Amino acid sequence: MPHQGQDRYTRIAVILHWLIAFAVLAMLISGLLMTDFISDKVLQFQLYQWHKASGLVVMVLVLLRLVWRFGHKPPPFPSSMPGYEKKAAHGTHWAFYILLISIPLTGWIMVSASPFGLPTLIYGLFEWPHIPGLVGMEWVEELAKDGHEILTLVIMILIGLHIAGAIKHTLIDKENILRRMWF
Ligand code: HEM
C-alpha cells in the first residue's frame, strides 16, 4: 500500500517502467525493420516471431503494472507543477496503459485472423494460442493491421511528449523528477 508522504514510485513500479520502456522501443524498431527494411525472408520470419513473442510479453508486463498500480498509488505530482501540466501528465500516463494493451491486442487479433494460421512461439519454448474463431476473417485481419499501425504512430508521438516533459522538468524547471522513477 502507498506510504504516507511518499515522493517516489515503488521499486516494483520502477523496474516495470524501465523494462516496459526498453521493450517498447525494441518493439517499435523491430516492427519497422521487419515490415519495411528487411528483405531476407529467413531473417524476416525470425524477426516476426521475436516481435510477436516480445509484444505478448509486453502485454503481460503492462497488465502486471496495472494490477500493481491499482494497489500502490503513484506519488503526487510536485506542488510547483501547474494544473494543466498535471492533467497532461496524468492523461499521457493513462493513454500509455490503453495503448500498451491495445497495440499488442491488435497484433494478436491480426495473427489470429490471418488465413495462414502461422503459430506464435514464445522464444521457441511454447506456443501462444490464437484467439479462437478468427482464422481466415480477412476484414478482421485488415482492421487489426490498420489499428496496429495507427496506434503505434500515436504511441510514438506520446513517447516524444513524455520524454519532452521529463526534459523540461529537469532542465527548465530544475525539478529532479526522474529521481521519482529511478532505482
Ligand atoms: C507493445 C507492443 C507492440 C508494438 C509497440 C508493436 C509495434 C509494431 C510496429 C511499429 C509495426 C510496424 C507497423 C507498420 O509500419 O506497418 C508492427 C507490425 C506488426 N506487428 Fe507489432 N507491435 C507490438 C506487438 C505485437 C504483437 C503482440 C503482435 C502479434 C502477436 C504483433 C504483430 C505484428 C505484425 C504481424 C506486424 C506486421 C504487420 C504488417 O504486415 O503490416 N505486434 N508492430
- DSSP collapsed to 3 states, the chain: CCCCCCCCCCHHHHHHHHHHHHHHHHHHHHHHHHHHHCCCHHHHHHHHHHHHHHHHHHHHHHHHHHHHHHHCCCCCCCCCCCHHHHHHHHHHHHHHHHHHHHHHHHHHHHHHHCCCCCCEEECCCEEECCCCCCCCCHHHHHHHHHHHHHHHHHHHHHHHHHHHHHHHHHHHCCCCHHHHHCC
Find the 169 Cα to ligand 1 centroid distance in Å: 32
Instruction: Give per-residue pLDDT as tens, 126-137.
Output: 999 999 999 999
pLDDT for the residue numbered 87: 95
Find the 35 Cα to ligand 1 centroid distance in Å: 9
Instruction: Give per-residue pLDDT as tens, 28-64.
Output: 999 999 999 999 999 999 999 999 999 999 999 999 9
Report the alpha-carbon distance of residue 73 to residue 39 in Å, rounded: 46
Find the 67 Cα to ligand 1 centroid distance in Å: 24
pLDDT for the residue numbered 3: 45
**Cβ atoms of 17 and 183 closer than 8 Å:** no
Protein residue closest via CA to atom 18 of ligand 1? 31
Report the alpha-carbon distance of residue 7 to residue 75 in Å, rounded: 5
Report the alpha-carbon distance of residue 100 to residue 13 in Å, rounded: 16
Cβ of 13 below 6 Å from ligand 1: no
Average pLDDT, the chain: 93
Q: Is residue 140 scored above 90 in pLDDT?
A: yes
**Closest ligand 1 atom, residue 62 Cα:** 1
Find the 101 Cα to ligand 1 centroid distance in Å: 13
Tell me the mean pLDDT in the region 12-29.
98
Q: Is residue 138 scored above 80 in pLDDT?
A: yes
Find the 40 Cα to ligand 1 centroid distance in Å: 18
Nearest to 88 by CA among 74, 100, 77, 99: 77
Q: At residue 127, what are phi and psi to the nearest 5 degrees?
A: -95, 130
pLDDT for the residue numbered 9: 94
**Closest ligand 1 atom, residue 23 Cα:** 1
Nearest to 23 by CA among 119, 165, 162, 159: 159
Cell 487479433 found at? 109
Protein residue closest via CA to atom 4 of ligand 1? 27
Tell me the mean pLDDT in the region 170-174.
87
Cβ of 145 below 6 Å from ligand 1: yes
Cβ of 159 below 6 Å from ligand 1: no
Q: How confident is the model at residue 114 (pLDDT cuts 50, 70, 90)?
A: very high
Find the 82 Cα to ligand 1 centroid distance in Å: 36
Q: How confident is the model at residue 2 (pLDDT cuts 50, 70, 90)?
A: very low
Instruction: Give per-residue pLDDT as tens, 58-78.
Output: 999 999 999 999 999 999 988
